[in-house]
Structure 1
Amino acid sequence: MTRNNVRLLLGCLLVASRGGAEMPSLSYNPTYSETVRFLVAAGEASELVSVATIGQSAKGRQIPVAMVHDPRVSPLEVTRILVLARQHGNEPAGTVAVLGLLKDIMAGRGELPAQLSRICLVIVPMINPDGAEANRRSNARGADLNRDWIYRKQPETQAVEYLFNLWDPHVVLDLHELHWNDKHGLNTIEAPQAGVSLAAMGDDSRRLQSLILARLKGAGFPARVSSWDESCNMNLCHRHYARDHGRVSLLFESERQGLRTPLPRRAAMHRIGLDAVLDYYATDGMELRYPRLALAPASPEGGPLMPELGANAAEGISLEARPAEPAVMIVSPELDRPLSGQVRLQVEVEGIGDLSYISIRIDGQSRFFSNRGPYAFDLDTARLGAGRHAILVRAHRRDGSVVEQEYLVTVS
């Protein structure tokens, strides 16, 4: 990398401090607009924080990113950690945790300021703003973003991949929450199995996993470890960045205990894990056991790497969503989990004003249709039999055109 490129990178990263800027307050469960306004204010208030947008959601909302780094040290010489939160719009704990981390960094609490001389944090607090605004797992097109990482058909996953290629992080952390009735019900940290061929990066993943587990248990958080190998679904974000890019990559899942665990405690689980990772990579004399990765800015020399979130975003202009693209989706139950017994399929449509009726086909056979909402269909999975099945939900317009979405589900 040329010195000019390094200066360009640092020029994008640094935001001049405008001392005295008042930070907006955040609610118990921050909305998208609260999150963006907080990030914009953070970028204006601190030279440690630079804020940009990496793309737009399916409904046109900007997807913000915050880069946090000591401006006296080149990001080429430190460990770069990418933190991803809120792929699933109804899992707010990761967003709460990373915004709390940003608050503490700006306040100079604990060892965080010193750690930034050895670490560059790249934080995406809300990958799925449309889902967050609707309190829905999927994006506005009905897609589960954490099942879209092989082909990356959705704008949100494309935006994160762009950010990854731009910053080449050493470490990727993906923050989630367990389903309310998950059979394990414990805070979970997932890393690749020892047999997965990732060399030193796999070793670091498992060391971090053990460290986080010990920290959680020491803080009174019941926890477990999970692992994956090549036989598992590779469409998940953390597995994609480990296998396809060879990075240290962990999944955090906070437990909900049947929705009894309050949001602050769920967020605290993520924060404990984040702090453990920061401590690990900021330790004096700690040498990374894999080659340093060089940054490769994707934009022409002299131009910005990413457009900043400026005053317009803070005033709400850039927060407006565009009209929804036509979409039909099953919003309940969560179809990435095995189905059993009696199941109610709840269907929603977006952006289809001339809807005539909804139909559902299972394994090519017509099963349900309705021309009156709410669109809910009771399915006896015992009649399908165990195994994989294809569910095709279709929204039929009055002009004869069709909008459809197919799901592959497992019946246990």
Structure 2
Amino acid sequence: NDLIDLRANRSRLVEYLPAEKLPQPDRAVRPASQWRRGYLPQANHLWEDFDSFVLKKRGYDAFGVPILAEESSFSTRSEDTYANALNLATGLLDRVGEIDHSKSPRLADICNPETIARAANLWQTRALKGEVRANATTRKNMVARLSHIAEFHVGLSKKQRKLLTKIKTQVRKTSPKSNAMSPPRLAWIKAFDKSPAQQRAVHAMPETLQREADAILVNWPNLKKKKRHKERMRALSLGIAAVQSAILFRGSAVRATNLRCVPFRGSGIQLNMEAESGDIELSIPAALVKNRVDIDAEFDPDARPIIEWYLSEIRPRLIEDHPYGCKLVDSDFLFPSMHADRPMEETTFASHYAVGVEAAGLSMTLHQARQITGYLILSADPSAIGLVAAVLNNSIEVCEAHYAWMDGVKAGREARRLLQQARAQSKQHRVGTQTRAA
């Protein structure tokens, strides 16, 4: 369908395209929990209890004032993961009619050994039916978080604690290790390892996307006049993806959340572009990073032209001349949204990157870009696992679990080399030890 929209610029493809656009299938989406925050009035008590749990986790300062999320080890992101676990459990239980809509459940009604075990079994049933991935860690994470709420906030008897420990052990034994890379991602990175073309595409991605975007920007007024909004939007998506890849591969392989929320000016500036020296530095405080570690990175020189081009050609059009008339605000965020105090929405941010990745001939998510960084470092120096951990802000244990497969690949190659050497030596003539004397 995208090619049909661009058929005027793709004349050689016209004969291969259908006459009309193909109908789009309905997206299969799991229904959200009716007991999520703000949906059912009966859920108010449940979320009041949850807010009390969050407040207790963050604690109070010496004056009895609640500690803010930014200053606590229990960040907003951590709060969201626990809320998601609660939403998942209530959704599973509600779909089989195990939550009474005539009552207002409390957190203790969900976070107890019996109900947690029931939710875990319902998830396992869905996995056996093929409705969800059987090798995902979702079930284990849900049980771990609901169990923590039960132990930390709700309060359990000695008998209940013993039962909950048994449940957690059973779930942990039947779940994949969370440190290991998921099978689909592992298969993807192994395919990437065998494809020099994809590796070249990653290295050239910022310039590739910039060139294609520039080819559209040249005709910007014409395209606007002809109301070819999709082409203009494609140029902006390519520009956003170009600067995303420049930061990820030539600066710092930060997580998607940190990349999306980067301010490039103002009091909270994180992306600092020195005008005199030409240097670019990224500095993100530990409070905003998942692993609570400061990020300080210097960029490669060839990242600057891409970022400057984005700031002069792409970002102004996003704000002042959006193809679909969206009223984006010129905020301090590198990637603007319709609100001055918020960066670009998560799904929008990821969709722009997906457009760029496809244009570069690749297939990867923002998170897989981090895995590529680790792969490229270890390809150059197999012993640099500590460096990979530092660059990705991960523990060494996680990095070892993610990239252990590379040791097997290298061992196989080295083994083949030694076997070939042995085979060659076996064909060489050797003087026998039983030769007769002349």
Q: Which TM class, normalised by the smaller chain length?
A: under 0.3
Task: Give the TM-score, by structure 2 length.
Answer: 0.22
- Greater share of helix: 2
Q: In proportion to residue count, which structure has more strand?
A: 1
With a CA cutoff of 8 Å and minimum separation of 6, indicate the structure with the bigger relative contact order: 1
